[in-house]
Structure 1
Amino acid sequence: MASTALALDHVGICARALTPMTDAFEALGFALSPIAQQSGRRTPGGPVELYGSGNRCAFLRHGYIELLGILEPGLFDNDVGKFSDRYEGLHILALGMDDAEANLARMRRGGIEIAGVAHLQRPVEAGGPIAKFSRLPYPDAPEGRLQLIQHVTPELVWQPRWMGHANKADALTEMVLVSADAASSAARLSKLTGLVLEPRQEGGFLLRFPGGARVAGPEAPAMETRVAILSPGDLPGTFPGVAIPALPFMAGIYVQTSDGNAAVRALLGKLPLQELADGALMVPPSHAAGAALVFHP
């Protein structure tokens, strides 16, 4: 058990309407879980209530991509509306841990004012079993929702029937954040995770997560994943042609494929893919619900 973050668990892409996002990701070769409406406690110890937000997810062997929209506008939407009003795209970064109480104690020692371990639950599908999570969110982070997460019921979340992706996506390996004050954003993430920052060769900062078996999925290996924190001037060298809608901005993600990108090239060859280094292929945000999406071997 560890008192630091161990892995990149999932990212969340937000828009008011869920269907356009899910259509885009299915067109990219992802198999998605059924629509699940969220519920949870707004405060530690508070009552469980139904939220107006809901999701569909692309579950990978390591980590997953969550697509979040508003299903019932009259209910609490878990900040999906607020995030979407800034821009439609990535707003949620969840980092895997295996000991919520130890991380809570570390965060409090570091001066993060957090009430306690928060809890979220949702049915994995309509009428299905309830998946449960333990969460440690960083309060009022300007970058979006930054949180540590421990899965209480991972076997309910990662189900083989939802993991047969035509594009052979296998692992969520990196998220890229852009900030006008990259040093402050990087320091905030270091404080949240308990991990030491390092300079990034291409500019900005890097957090490396050491990995933990089964932390980001019941079959997930202990593999290194990363978060990069860039200044605006660093972005063109990483995601060519990607515009910045607002700052701070979660710009995009890297997804490893199990076949060296052969299926991606065959399936998505008609899209305006950007060739990057080492055989990586970038799908522009206009085709990936507002987020740059890089498939890599």
Structure 2
Amino acid sequence: MGNDVARLHHVGHIVSNMAQALTLYQRLGFRVPPPSYPTMAARKGAAPQPFGAANTHADFPRSFVELATYVQEDGVHHLPHDAHLVPLQAPPEVLPRLIEQIGRTSANLAVFLDRFEGLHILMFSSPDIDAAAARLTETGVGHGGVHTVTRPVQHRGEARTEVVRYLEISSNEIGAKPGCVTEGRVGVVADLDPDIQGTRQLDHPNGALDLIGTMLCIADDQLTAVQRRYEDYLDQPARTDGPAHVFDLDNATLTLVPDSQLATVLPGEHPAALPAFVGYTVAVHDIALTRDLLRRNGFPLRHSASGDLFVPSTAALGAAIAFRQATPHTTEAGT
């Protein structure tokens, strides 16, 4: 595709208990490294304590699924035993702004969890994020501009700096929080660095290769308005597929489904709120092996209207997680 928004970058699964979520994802067959928690001393001489937001990823070559939470005042005991505690370090002139940014992220996660535990983040991938930002501005889509953050990473045994450039779309509704729309956090991120991404844990026991779809459930009378929003975000029209409206990306889809038809598309599913991201789909190397792993680990299994195997949201902390046999194109793109 030639668009400045090309595919899915990641979805974010917001959870209340990170240790519980890690256990779930390991049972689902994802390889997920220990989560990172920023730490800071409340006063001089005190021991650093986790604060703010924490996350980790189930990584694929071009995308990932994020697990995220925030540190509640009484939530330190929910830290996984192998959590990666990262002391917050920054020049004095930068530190207050960094703390403010972490606090804002944590507050947003708290708002998301107040709605429901599940999917609240959808970020698209762009080969030219500056062009995407300019187009969104011209189209009248609100956003906070392109931000650049860096983080240290280990790359083949050497310390390197990973650069992440992103923008967050803001709702045009009066009183809306900056960087959020009604369904959660939606935005655009510059394409992952394949050299760095390729050194992460990509060999998942369930055979997962790529993030290839996510689904947004919308009140019936709001479907047209939300579809128009995403047509502006993605600079393309949606196609109709039965009751669904589908945006085709590079080997991935965003599917909009009216609330009245969700149980038809994903049998047994009911949205916890509207609008809401209700599930995501990953491509897997061998669906039979994936099915066997899920059955061995005690998951109830269903099939979507399109034939995908999925674990219902009631068994996966509020998110329906679907698995699809990879096509040769998917396999090639994931290498």
Using structure 1 for the length normalisation, give the TM-score.
Answer: 0.82
CA contact (8 A) 1:62 1:170 kept: no
Shift of 1:235: 0.6
Letter in structure 1 aligned against 2:142: E
1:271 match: secondary structure: coil
Distance 1:51 1:147 in 2: 25
2:67 match: secondary structure: strand
Shift of 1:283: 0.4
| Comparing 21-30 and 187-196, the one that deviates more | 187-196
C-alpha spacing 1:152/1:292, structure 2 compared with 1 (3 Å): closer
Alignment of 1:33-44 (within 5 A): 33-37=33-37
CA contact (8 A) 1:54 1:68 kept: yes
Match of 2:293 in 1: 267
Match of 1:53 in 2: 53
Shift of 1:114: 2.9
Q: Deviations over 1:223-273 (max 9, x none)?
A: x210001110121111111121111110001111111x1221221113211
Shift of 1:154: 4.5
Distance 1:133 1:23 in 2: 28
Alignment root-mean-square deviation, CA: 2.6
Q: Which structure has the greater CA radius of gyration? A: 2
The answer to which structure has the higher helix fraction is 2
Match of 2:255 in 1: 228
Q: What percentage of aligned pairs have identical amino acids?
A: 26
Alignment of 1:249-264 (within 5 A): 249-259=276-286, 261-264=287-290
Match of 1:113 in 2: 142
Does residue 187 of the first structure (1) align with residue 216 of the second (2)?
Answer: no
Runs of 5+ consecutive residues of structure 1 not aligned to the other structure: 40-49, 212-223
CA contact (8 A) 1:274 1:283 kept: yes
1:159 match: secondary structure: coil
CA contact (8 A) 1:282 1:294 kept: yes
CA contact (8 A) 1:254 1:296 kept: yes
Match of 2:45 in 1: none
CA contact (8 A) 1:36 1:122 kept: no
CA contact (8 A) 2:206 2:290 kept: yes
Q: Deviations over 1:40-78 (max 9, x none)?
A: xxxxxxxxxx97111111112342110001147596151
Distance 2:167 2:242 in 1: 31
2:135 match: secondary structure: helix
C-alpha spacing 1:286/1:116, structure 2 compared with 1 (3 Å): same
Match of 1:143 in 2: 183
Distance 1:281 1:184 in 2: 30
Does residue 283 of the first structure (1) align with residue 311 of the second (2)?
Answer: yes
Runs of 5+ consecutive residues of structure 2 not aligned to the other structure: 40-49, 74-98, 172-180, 326-335
Letter in structure 1 aligned against 2:252: T
